[in-house]
Amino acid sequence: MGAAAAVLESCGEPLCVFGTGDLGRSLGQRLLQSGYKVVYGSRRPDSCGPIPPGAQVMNHAAAAQSAGIVFICIHREHYGFLQTLAPQLKGKVLVDVSNNPEKDLFPEANAEHLQRLVPEAFVVKALNTLSAWALQNGPLDANRQANQAVSQVCTRLGFSVLDRGSLSASRELEDFPLQLFTEWRLPLSIALGLTAAFFFYLLIRDVLYAYVNNGKNMSFRIMVSLANQVFPIVSLIMLALCYLPGVIAAGFQLYRGTKYRRFPDWLDRWMLCRKQMGLVALGFASLHVLYTLIIPIRYYVRYKISESVISKVLENRTSEFSNIWAWRSDSYLAMGILGFVLFVLLGITSLPSVSNALSWREFSYIQSKMGYVTLFLCTLHTFLYGGDRFLRPSTYKWYTVPGYMLSLVVPTVVLLLKLLLLLPCVDHHLTRIRRGWERSAPL
Ligand code: HEM
């Protein structure tokens, strides 16, 4: 049977997808939405993980036999077994959707390799420039034109239009009037809890301590000084909490030796609200920046500076310029500014109308790689701000540690764990698992 015949015959019969990973599932879902019947071929039809509702799962041989077109959504390293299916794949159209992690990794293209393994099939290279995300959401350009037409009508009606991106955002929009703040509930509760805890902790250290020990009324510090400690501390901890679930998930995958088992519910829920958590953290960081900008115009600060100048003049005293202090303060401010700019960029790219315009690779690059750089810079900013304060006994009022030290615990743990995951042996193992390898895969 020729390739054309196979295509014609395939119109009434199901389309077959080999592989139930992200890409295989997204492709199957899109094919089902477009009216095709879909059959998955799997090593373990009974426990292959979630597949789109409406699709069937069979073993590879049976699935291949039932369809004229077979989409090969598996990594090149696993193509070997297709050779044994040569009789079932004879005369079928095999669509190679694969890509390689690096250029020139293999002497021949994946599609050529596939053709060599199954010479009596017809191999076509297609869909490899689409990510799982793009497959699930469909072509964006068509949406864009339709969006523009509707936007024009709404503008003429006198409304201002906010484009929330592709159709996948409509679910969020439809739920909006019904379930306000559901995805925000956990991040907001964490933010509120941390704010209250740190506010009272710092109130005891900065206000109550001065009153009890020296009889000084420092309650004015609540409005700016205390706030400008609580906001950045909460922001830094919440930024770290955005990345902690990813590290824990990697730990689960390494421990279990597979990516096909579901994460515990609490981890799933945590991962789903990372965007909201990051945006809340960004809000707190912005408050910190605003509060920092007004430091020079505060009455208390101006009073302290002029008092110090006057007393030096009266006592005929000078203080030496310290290069170390200048370096330290410039460095921590520079790290803060760089961290904040990247933080803002992360926030902007997490908005649906922006993220939909990015490819999956660009989006995950920004959110993951740049996210860790942001966390690193903000953590470094806080470490440099602390400097050698931890050596001074006066820092530990009533045997308590300062707030900035507490804020460093979670980010430091996350960064150290990430460093561990980046060790070549661990990284290699994790990458294999994420590409479909399983430690105890049954044959
Ligand atoms: C402390 C500036 C961004 C986290 C400080 C302080 C300044 C400052 C002046 C000392 C405040 C004081 O003495 O009371 C800046 C500037 C930034 C920036 C200019 C960017 C434009 C950030 C970001 C984060 C952050 C993005 C974290 C997400 C912290 C923390 C402290 C701190 C945790 C210690 C608070 C304490 O306990 O006193 N920053 N910062 N900063 N900053 Fe920033």
In the chain, what are the domains?
3-134 (3.40.50.720), 139-175 (no CATH), 198-305+324-434 (no CATH)
Are the C-beta atoms of residues 146 and 337 closer than 8 Å to each other? no
> How confident is the model over 182-211, as pLDDT tens digits?
778 899 999 999 999 999 999 999 999 999
Say which residue, 363 or 341, is predicted with more confidence. 341
Predicted TM-score of the model (pTM)? 0.70
Tokens 């950045």 correspond to: 232
Q: 419 alpha carbon to ligand 1 midpoint, in Å?
A: 24
Could you give the CA distance from residue 269 to residue 435 in angstroms, rounded to a whole number?
24
Q: 232 alpha carbon to ligand 1 midpoint, in Å?
A: 6
The whole-number average pLDDT for the span 155-161 is 76
Flag whether pLDDT at 341 surpasses 90. yes
> How confident is the model over 258-313, as pLDDT tens digits?
887 888 989 988 998 999 999 999 999 999 999 999 999 999 999 999 999 999 99
Q: How far is CA 433 from CA 144, 260, 268, 307, 426, in A?
A: 37, 9, 19, 64, 11
Say which residue, 356 or 244, is predicted with more confidence. 244
Could you give the CA distance from residue 417 to residue 251 in angstroms, rounded to a whole number?
9
> How confident is the model over 360-384, as pLDDT tens digits?
778 888 888 999 999 999 999 999 9
* CA atoms within 13 Å, Cβ hemisphere of 407: 30
The reply to whether ligand 1 has any atom less than 6 angstroms from the CB of 336 is yes
Which residue lies with its CA nearest to atom 3 of ligand 1?
336
Q: Which two tokens stand for residue 304?
A: 């302290």
Please provide the average confidence, as pLDDT, over all residues in the chain: 87
Contacts of 231 (CB under 8 A, 6+ apart): 284, 285, 287, 288, 291
Tokens 């039932």 correspond to: 66
Determine the atom of ligand 1 nearest the C-alpha atom of 340. 26
Could you give the CA distance from residue 373 to residue 386 in angstroms, rounded to a whole number?
20
Instruction: Read off the pLDDT band of 16 (50, 70, 90).
Output: very high
Strand partners, 70: 16, 94
Q: How far is CA 170 from the centre of its chain?
A: 21
Q: 381 alpha carbon to ligand 1 midpoint, in Å?
A: 7
Of 230, 292, 384, the residue with max ligand 1 atoms within 8 A of its CB, to mutate for a pocket test, comes to 292
